[in-house]
Structure 1
Amino acid sequence: MSSYRIQFAKEIFGVPFTVGHVDISRARDAGRALRAAEIRFARTHGVTDWRERADTAALAEPHLDD
Protein backbone atom coordinates (compact mmCIF):
# COMPACT_ATOMS: atom_id res chain seq x y z
CA MET A 1 0.00 0.00 0.00
CA SER A 2 1.16 3.50 -0.80
CA SER A 3 0.77 6.96 0.68
CA TYR A 4 -0.85 9.77 -1.30
CA ARG A 5 -1.42 13.51 -0.99
CA ILE A 6 -4.50 14.95 -2.68
CA GLN A 7 -4.63 18.72 -3.24
CA PHE A 8 -7.91 20.61 -3.48
CA ALA A 9 -8.07 23.90 -5.37
CA LYS A 10 -10.57 26.63 -6.14
CA GLU A 11 -10.24 28.25 -9.56
CA ILE A 12 -10.65 32.02 -9.73
CA PHE A 13 -10.43 33.57 -13.21
CA GLY A 14 -8.90 30.30 -14.40
CA VAL A 15 -6.10 30.34 -11.84
CA PRO A 16 -6.06 27.47 -9.31
CA PHE A 17 -5.63 28.42 -5.65
CA THR A 18 -4.97 25.58 -3.23
CA VAL A 19 -7.62 25.51 -0.50
CA GLY A 20 -6.33 22.41 1.26
CA HIS A 21 -4.83 18.99 1.02
CA VAL A 22 -5.47 15.57 2.50
CA ASP A 23 -2.84 12.92 3.18
CA ILE A 24 -3.96 9.33 2.79
CA SER A 25 -1.52 7.04 4.55
CA ARG A 26 -2.65 3.73 3.06
CA ALA A 27 -4.57 3.03 -0.12
CA ARG A 28 -4.52 0.21 -2.65
CA ASP A 29 -4.26 2.60 -5.59
CA ALA A 30 -4.52 6.27 -6.54
CA GLY A 31 -8.23 6.02 -7.37
CA ARG A 32 -9.12 4.77 -3.90
CA ALA A 33 -6.89 7.40 -2.32
CA LEU A 34 -8.65 10.13 -4.29
CA ARG A 35 -12.10 8.93 -3.22
CA ALA A 36 -11.04 8.65 0.44
CA ALA A 37 -9.55 12.16 0.32
CA GLU A 38 -12.74 13.61 -1.19
CA ILE A 39 -14.80 12.13 1.64
CA ARG A 40 -12.37 13.29 4.33
CA PHE A 41 -12.14 16.80 2.85
CA ALA A 42 -15.95 17.13 2.82
CA ARG A 43 -16.27 15.91 6.42
CA THR A 44 -13.49 18.21 7.61
CA HIS A 45 -15.20 21.23 6.05
CA GLY A 46 -18.68 20.23 7.20
CA VAL A 47 -20.21 19.85 3.75
CA THR A 48 -21.87 16.91 2.02
CA ASP A 49 -19.92 17.29 -1.24
CA TRP A 50 -16.30 18.44 -1.50
CA ARG A 51 -17.16 20.48 -4.63
CA GLU A 52 -18.90 23.02 -2.38
CA ARG A 53 -15.45 24.17 -1.20
CA ALA A 54 -13.16 23.30 -4.12
CA ASP A 55 -13.32 23.00 -7.89
CA THR A 56 -10.60 20.40 -8.44
CA ALA A 57 -9.00 17.51 -6.60
CA ALA A 58 -5.70 16.24 -7.92
CA LEU A 59 -3.06 13.77 -6.88
CA ALA A 60 0.07 15.62 -5.78
CA GLU A 61 3.59 14.33 -6.23
CA PRO A 62 4.21 11.01 -4.48
CA HIS A 63 4.24 11.35 -0.71
CA LEU A 64 7.14 9.26 0.63
CA ASP A 65 7.23 7.69 4.08
CA ASP A 66 10.18 8.55 6.33
Structure 2
Amino acid sequence: MSQYRVLFAKQILGVPFTVGTVEITRARDPERAMRAAALRFARQHGVEDWRERADLAELDGVAAQAS
Protein backbone atom coordinates (compact mmCIF):
# COMPACT_ATOMS: atom_id res chain seq x y z
CA MET A 1 0.00 0.00 0.00
CA SER A 2 1.19 3.52 -0.78
CA GLN A 3 0.47 7.07 0.28
CA TYR A 4 -0.77 9.61 -2.22
CA ARG A 5 -1.51 13.32 -2.30
CA VAL A 6 -3.92 14.63 -4.91
CA LEU A 7 -3.94 18.32 -5.79
CA PHE A 8 -7.12 19.91 -7.13
CA ALA A 9 -6.73 23.16 -9.06
CA LYS A 10 -8.82 25.76 -10.84
CA GLN A 11 -7.32 27.21 -14.01
CA ILE A 12 -7.59 30.94 -14.51
CA LEU A 13 -6.16 32.28 -17.78
CA GLY A 14 -4.30 29.00 -18.18
CA VAL A 15 -2.59 29.21 -14.78
CA PRO A 16 -3.52 26.50 -12.24
CA PHE A 17 -4.36 27.67 -8.71
CA THR A 18 -4.63 24.97 -6.05
CA VAL A 19 -8.08 24.95 -4.43
CA GLY A 20 -7.54 21.86 -2.30
CA THR A 21 -5.44 18.82 -1.53
CA VAL A 22 -6.47 15.41 -0.32
CA GLU A 23 -4.18 12.92 1.39
CA ILE A 24 -4.88 9.25 0.74
CA THR A 25 -2.97 7.16 3.25
CA ARG A 26 -3.68 3.74 1.74
CA ALA A 27 -4.42 2.81 -1.82
CA ARG A 28 -3.53 -0.20 -3.93
CA ASP A 29 -2.66 1.87 -6.98
CA PRO A 30 -2.75 5.47 -8.27
CA GLU A 31 -6.12 5.01 -10.00
CA ARG A 32 -7.84 4.00 -6.75
CA ALA A 33 -6.16 6.89 -4.96
CA MET A 34 -7.50 9.35 -7.56
CA ARG A 35 -11.05 7.96 -7.23
CA ALA A 36 -10.94 8.09 -3.44
CA ALA A 37 -9.53 11.63 -3.46
CA ALA A 38 -12.16 12.82 -5.94
CA LEU A 39 -14.95 11.46 -3.74
CA ARG A 40 -13.47 12.97 -0.58
CA PHE A 41 -12.91 16.37 -2.25
CA ALA A 42 -16.51 16.44 -3.51
CA ARG A 43 -17.86 15.59 -0.04
CA GLN A 44 -15.69 18.26 1.61
CA HIS A 45 -17.04 20.90 -0.76
CA GLY A 46 -20.64 19.74 -0.73
CA VAL A 47 -20.86 18.96 -4.43
CA GLU A 48 -21.65 15.79 -6.34
CA ASP A 49 -18.70 15.97 -8.72
CA TRP A 50 -15.26 17.44 -7.98
CA ARG A 51 -15.27 19.15 -11.39
CA GLU A 52 -17.80 21.65 -10.06
CA ARG A 53 -15.04 23.20 -7.91
CA ALA A 54 -11.83 22.34 -9.78
CA ASP A 55 -10.65 21.98 -13.36
CA LEU A 56 -7.87 19.47 -12.86
CA ALA A 57 -6.61 16.89 -10.40
CA GLU A 58 -3.09 15.59 -10.34
CA LEU A 59 -1.25 13.05 -8.27
CA ASP A 60 1.63 14.52 -6.30
CA GLY A 61 4.50 12.89 -4.44
CA VAL A 62 3.81 9.19 -4.44
CA ALA A 63 5.70 7.71 -1.49
CA ALA A 64 5.94 4.02 -0.64
CA GLN A 65 4.92 3.22 2.91
CA ALA A 66 7.25 1.01 4.96
CA SER A 67 5.74 -2.33 5.93
TM range (shorter): over 0.9
Question: How do 1:4-43 and structure 2 match up within 5 A?
Answer: 4-43=4-43
Q: Following the alignment from structure 2 to structure 1, what is the Cα–Cα distance between the partners of residues 62 and 31?
A: 14
Deviation at 1:62, TM superposition (A): 2.1
SS at match of 1:33: helix
Higher strand share: 2
Aligned length: 66
TM superposition score normalised by structure 1? 0.93
SS at match of 1:61: strand
Please tell me the root mean square deviation across aligned C-alpha atoms, in Å: 1.5
Q: Which runs of 5+ in 1 are unaligned?
A: none
Identity percentage over the alignment?
Answer: 65
Amino acid at match of 2:39: I
Amino acid at match of 1:41: F
